[in-house]
Structure 1
């Protein structure tokens, strides 16, 4: 009898500790995304074509391994449970390989540097998946209370956003400060070693806090079924379960809506710096201020969206967050058209990016909370819970959206005549940079809005399903 789990509400300290587990993961992931290309080409002197090829392969590998790790985690029967075994070893291995990633000796031969880069990037991304997918799945298992799930995700997203802000807030201002020898701080090799050590320490502290505080829940967490022992073709089973997840009438709406929302986020991440630098002609301090406002509003919005969802339900709250982000993007389009005004009054961007950031807080929060509800439906209909597969599939969608955005941005830059060798772009190019970012974001957000409007699972349905599951278990 498992009825106690459906009334579980997690205390503040436990939710906080779970959320902290996402800090080190987010910092390591975002620093890799932000600094890898510059570090590899400028500090190590590896040709960009080699780095680009390695990164492209690693993105494909990274996306494929998410459902695989999710499946393995779902079917793990170790004493530490389905998730905590991966949290423990994922924390240690991320910290270990992350340090070596940023301390490759530039004096090595080109062949050795390329081999080291290839191995470390692939291994580091793999161990990040070993930690990240089970960690996210754990968030859906810690509580089966409908609104508490959203609150747990709020803590997770809060610390993840802190991790995303780390390269901008700490990386540029602390590790890569300008010196007499290195006026451009990013060219100082010592800064990368210091960054690597700091990231690894943060990973160890945040990962172990999450592990040791939440491991007391292991006896009450769902256990692995016996299907894996009987399976003769695990890869085939993973593909079938991946396909079944995408066919789920509720999950498919979350997945595709999440993919388009993340294309918007990826456009901001990959093209935002170009727009600030070449469209609005902003310096590093100004860029830091406006991006700081964006992340600050995303962080501060988490309590609001959690309470708003408890009152109005998740799907309407998701729609509202998309609409707020849309409004911000529309106003940002106006500033792009009148970019000459922003060039002398950059503060005009602050309220608009604040609005976009506030809406983005909900965009990050609600999809993972919705997935936990979908898994209740899966348990009711099939008798099993596959959090690992579902969240692995979500992460696959996230990474696919990143790849799509990078591909489209790369083509767009060539089409509009962007020239990285000149500091001032033409009027047409600087305008199109901003319009691609804004109009592209508006289009994908509208598509996401229509998709999420078809999501019909609500609190009443989930509570009824949980009640049916409890009644069935009592009878059995």
Structure 2
């Protein structure tokens, strides 16, 4: 491969902002939008979201395998799917957020499940080949971390636009809606903005890397026949890779914590800590800003040490943030309405999760090379698809249980003020659940063995093979 150019690095990385923005408005707002704006029950939405995540998860390795098997002199293995997935996401995302609130419960649920499944499908068609492509445009140990860091930066900017900036832009307080997040029109405007950004990022990812298609085609190694038996065989061999399995499990537990914050965060900030749209924007913006600003640190830290050591440090920071949040939950009455007491949580948690977003993705790219040396086949699509399969399945279970928890804790969207037991329970569930997830992730990463020196040996062997 040619040396990584800045225009390739930044143009390709920008391709992740639309995905981050679109997925985050679904993750952060859909449950709140459905239960509060559309007046649907928490249990029904928990079932709906879980079905969507299960479908999304199952489709990831299928899409990865399909892109691995694709051969095209014009589009290569990945680029056609960037266009198909991007255009489909732009259209269906708009439909999802324009469901009329005055429809019957069953009609709203059916419309929402159809749109959720379609938008998840198009997002998978886009992001799975995109993520696999990130592992192909460079085989340098440090450049791979840089690629993932820039991808993560734009992904987090998408999250920032969806949550922190979105609260300012789309959910301002008005005389009719003093609590801005209760305004239905805000969700419509947010959907339009997300679809426009998705279109721009799709085009950037495509055109910044399209000139590399001949080189990428030349890297393709042997290919088995494309059939269902081979598909399951490749997933099986992926899981036999000890290093890949360690990353999968660690990433799985880390993303359970992400499911907790994305599903319950708006409820907890609004009802437990009494934050308005400005307060929510500040705390979420702090977390995302620190994750973005931390990226140069994680590049330099892992350049001097190893990727695994960076992950361990990120998990420690995230765990300390959870402990602080538990303390805030215990003293919630004294902190009510004052976002600045939560700023330390945002700083520490944001910095730690910045590494947890970036480094595992770069570690998977290294496991692909290790597997290629052992088997003679490059399986970026299957590896990244399998990674997302596992953590999304875990998220689906977590979100389903969280939907039930909203009902069990007696959350009532008709109440302006929730029961004290409800707001305390939601806050502790978020903090303690996240802490347990980070501890399990820490132990899951322990078997990972791919160091810089080992990867240099693997790359030399691949070049000579």
TM-score, structure 2 normalization:
0.91
- The corresponding residue for 2:393 is 400
- Report Cα offsets for 1:255-301 as digits up to 9, x if no partner: 00100111112222222333333433333322221111111101100
Question: C-alpha separation between the residues in 2 aligned to 1:407 and 1:119?
Answer: 18
More deviation in 138-147 or 322-331?
A: 322-331
| Residue 128 of structure 2, aligned match among 118, 124, 133 | 133
Aligned residues of 1:74 and 1:224 also touching (Cα < 8 A) = no
Question: C-alpha separation between the residues in 1 aligned to 2:211 and 2:255?
Answer: 34
SS at match of 1:141: coil
- The corresponding residue for 1:97 is 92
| Residue 67 of structure 1, aligned match among 58, 61, 69 | 61
**Is the counterpart of residue 24 in structure 1 residue 18 in structure 2?**
yes
Shift of the 351–44 alpha-carbon distance from structure 1 to 2, 3 Å rule, reads closer
Alignment gaps of 5+ in structure 2: none
More deviation in 410-419 or 29-38?
A: 410-419
Equivalent residues in 2 for 1:298-447, closer than 5 Å = 298-343=291-336, 346-413=339-406, 416=409, 418-447=411-440
Equivalent residues in 2 for 1:252-263, closer than 5 Å = 252-263=245-256
Aligned residues of 1:266 and 1:405 also touching (Cα < 8 A) = yes
Shift of the 426–179 alpha-carbon distance from structure 1 to 2, 3 Å rule, reads closer
| Residue 451 of structure 2, aligned match among 452, 458, 466 | 458
More deviation in 102-111 or 350-359?
A: 102-111
**Is the counterpart of residue 290 in structure 1 residue 299 in structure 2?**
no
Shift of the 183–418 alpha-carbon distance from structure 1 to 2, 3 Å rule, reads closer
- The corresponding residue for 2:137 is 142
- The corresponding residue for 1:203 is 198
- The corresponding residue for 1:56 is 50
Question: C-alpha separation between the residues in 2 aligned to 1:313 and 1:422?
Answer: 50
Question: C-alpha separation between the residues in 1 aligned to 2:96 and 2:420?
Answer: 40
Shift of the 274–93 alpha-carbon distance from structure 1 to 2, 3 Å rule, reads closer
More deviation in 441-450 or 312-321?
A: 441-450
| Aligned alpha-carbon RMSD (Å) | 2.6
SS at match of 1:128: helix
**Is the counterpart of residue 245 in structure 1 residue 216 in structure 2?**
no
Alpha-carbon offset, residue 36 of structure 1: 3.2
Shift of the 458–331 alpha-carbon distance from structure 1 to 2, 3 Å rule, reads same
- The corresponding residue for 1:215 is 210
More deviation in 17-26 or 262-271?
A: 262-271
Alpha-carbon offset, residue 235 of structure 1: 2.8
Larger Rg computed on CA atoms? 1
TM-score, structure 1 normalization:
0.89
Alignment gaps of 5+ in structure 1: none
Aligned residues of 1:75 and 1:224 also touching (Cα < 8 A) = no
Q: Give the aligned length.
A: 463
Alpha-carbon offset, residue 20 of structure 1: 0.5
Shift of the 94–417 alpha-carbon distance from structure 1 to 2, 3 Å rule, reads closer
Shift of the 454–400 alpha-carbon distance from structure 1 to 2, 3 Å rule, reads same
Alpha-carbon offset, residue 440 of structure 1: 1.9
Shift of the 146–439 alpha-carbon distance from structure 1 to 2, 3 Å rule, reads same
SS at match of 1:82: coil
Question: C-alpha separation between the residues in 1 aligned to 2:280 and 2:375?
Answer: 50
